[in-house]
Copies of this chain bind each other. A is one copy, B any other.
Amino acid sequence: MMLGAMARSYPQLVRGRPRDEEADVALVDATLALLAEQGYSGLRMEAVAARAGVAKATLYRRWPDKVSLTIAALSRIPELPAVDTGSLSGDLAALRDAVVRLFKTTRLASVLPALAAERVRRTSASAKIDAFIRTRYQPWIAAIERAIARGELPRTSADPVLIADLLAGVMMQRVFFTGGRVDDKAWKTVVDIVVKGLRAAASSPGG
C-alpha cells in the first residue's frame, strides 16, 4: 500500500532506542498534578520523576529545567475558548469565565506569576516563557480583532494588543496582585468602560 511504502522510504532519522512516549505523558501529568498541589516554587524535579515512575535522567533528557517542564505541563491545559460567540461582550465573558474557573478549581494561579518572575530575570528560559504566553494570549487579541472586523469597535481604534492588555490586565492585576474579585458585574463595567472609551476616543481623537 502507498502509505507503507512511503513510511519505509522515510526511515528513522535518529538512531538508537527511541524515547518512551509514555514517559513524556507520565512526566507531564505528574508535573501538572504537583503544580496544582504545591505550586511552582514547591515543584521538585525528584518528585516529578518519582510520581511519573521514571528515572531522573529520563526527566532531564527531555526538559533541562523547571521552567521548560512547567511550560510543557501547562501546554496540556486546553487553550482558552477561541470560539466566536458573535459579540465582543460574549467573547470576553467566555474568556473571563475560563480563566476564573481554572484558577478557582486548581492552584495553578501561582504558576503564571512565577513564570513571569523568571521571564523578567532574563534567563535562558525567558524566550520559552515568552512564546508560551504569546500563544496562550492569542484568543484575547483575536476577540478584539473580531470585534473591530464586526464594527463593534471603531476601525480607527488603538492597537488591538493594547486593548487586549487593558482588558486582560485588569483581571491579572486583581487575581495576582490586589486580590480583588473579577465577578460578572465588575467585568461588565470594565468592558463597558473600554468599549465606550474606544468609541469616544475614535470620534474625538487626542486628550
Q: Which residues of A contact B (CB under 8 A)?
A: 38-42, 89, 107, 109-114, 116-122, 130, 133-134, 137, 158-159, 161-162, 165-166, 168-180, 186, 188-201, 204, 206-207
Contacts and interface: CB of A to CB of B under 8 A. Distances in A.
Contact of A176 (B110, B116, B162, B201): B116
Most buried by B among A137, A161, A192: A192
* Chain A interface SS verdict (over half): helix
Question: How many copies of this kind of chain does the complex include?
Answer: 4
Nearest to A66: B41
A113 B116 contact: yes
Contacts of A198: 193, 197
A65 to B, nearest CB: 12
**In the A-B complex, the 9 residue pairs with the closest CB atoms:** A197-B197, A169-B173, A169-B169, A193-B197, A196-B200, A113-B116, A114-B117, A110-B120, A113-B113
Nearest to A161: B180
